[in-house]
């Protein structure tokens, strides 16, 4: 875990709970002044983010309630602009605009990105803003994905943590299953053709 993420996540109440549950010593090293800050995305993070086709994001509204939603799109729609900035095309959805409204009052945001097949996930703390910049929107748009882009969501990374994979279920999308299913489909088609040929020969 990187120091910046720990500094943001480990509030006094959290540290008190860690002490009570006996895990404080495990995380003391994360708060060491000499620990790596981990607030800039490296090659591993860039690669991981670029392969995602969705993520969970949380914002906080004026009532103090957190709001979590799933953002989906074509693989790679969440893009790394530089080592401190990620952005995504904000596609039109149900038009409730809860996250967008929350960000007007509090720009803090939390993301969870999950790679289910490989049991990996990363958590990101950031500051988010919405942008109508046409050049940025054009950069984020995927012409092969039929959805209206209303704006761009731009997130400045404050800290991130590669999360423990324990208890993370393995799930595969249809796209991820295709390499496994394709040979089975071919074998089935070949067997059907062979069966049809044998049946036709017997009927003669």
Quick: pLDDT tens for 186-195.
Answer: 999 999 999 9
Tokens (6 digits) for 9: 């996540």
Check: CB of residue 131 under 8 Å from CB of residue 158.
no
The whole-angstrom separation of Cα 128 and Cα 110 is 9
Confidence of residue 36 (pLDDT cuts 50, 70, 90): confident
| pTM of the predicted protein model | 0.85
Q: What is the pLDDT of residue 163?
A: 83
Quick: pLDDT tens for 48-86.
Answer: 999 999 999 999 999 999 999 999 999 999 999 999 999
The whole-angstrom separation of Cα 148 and Cα 49 is 22
The whole-angstrom separation of Cα 89 and Cα 110 is 17
Range 39-171 classified under CATH 2.30.110.10: yes
Which whole-number Å values give the CA distances from 61 to 91, 103, 106, 108, 162, in the listed order?
Answer: 21, 8, 7, 10, 27
The predicted model gives 136-155 an average pLDDT of 93
Residue 27 phi/psi, 5° resolution? -100, -5
In the numeric block, the tokens 């981990």 are attached to 38
pLDDT of 157 > 60? The answer is yes
Q: Count other C-beta atoms under 10 Å from residue 167's C-beta.
A: 6
In the numeric block, the tokens 């074998």 are attached to 187
Q: What is the pLDDT of residue 173?
A: 84
pLDDT more than 90, % of the chain = 73
Terminal Cα-to-Cα distance of the chain (whole angstroms): 72
The whole-angstrom separation of Cα 45 and Cα 54 is 15
pLDDT of 155 > 80? The answer is yes
Q: Which of 51, 33, 40 is nearest to 117 (CA)?
A: 51
Q: Give CA angle at 52 (185, 54), nearest 5°.
A: 95
Strand partners, 129: 154
Domain ranges of the chain: 1-36, 39-171, 172-204
């Amino acid at each position: 875990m990187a120091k910046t993420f720990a500094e943001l996540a480990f509030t006094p109440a959290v540290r008190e709970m860690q002490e009570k549950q006996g895990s404080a010593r495990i995380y003391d090293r994360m708060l060491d002044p000499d620990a790596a800050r981990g607030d800039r995305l490296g090659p591993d993070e860039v690669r991981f983010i670029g392969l995602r086709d969705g993520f969970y994001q949380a914002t906080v509204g004026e009532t103090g309630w957190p709001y979590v939603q799933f953002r989906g799109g074509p693989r790679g729609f969440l893009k790394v602009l530089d080592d401190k900035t990620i952005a995504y095309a904000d596609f039109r959805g149900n038009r409730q605009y809860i996250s967008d409204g929350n960000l007007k009052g509090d720009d803090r945001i939390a993301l969870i990105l999950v790679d289910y097949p490989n049991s990996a996930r990363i958590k990101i703390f950031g500051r988010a803003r919405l942008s109508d910049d046409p050049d940025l929107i054009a950069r984020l748009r995927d012409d092969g994905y039929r959805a209206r882009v209303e704006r761009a969501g731009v997130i400045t990374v404050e800290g991130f943590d590669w999360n423990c994979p324990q208890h993370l279920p393995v799930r595969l999308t249809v796209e991820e299953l295709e390499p496994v299913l394709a040979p089975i489909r071919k074998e089935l088609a070949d067997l059907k053709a062979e069966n049809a040929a044998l049946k036709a020969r017997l009927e003669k």
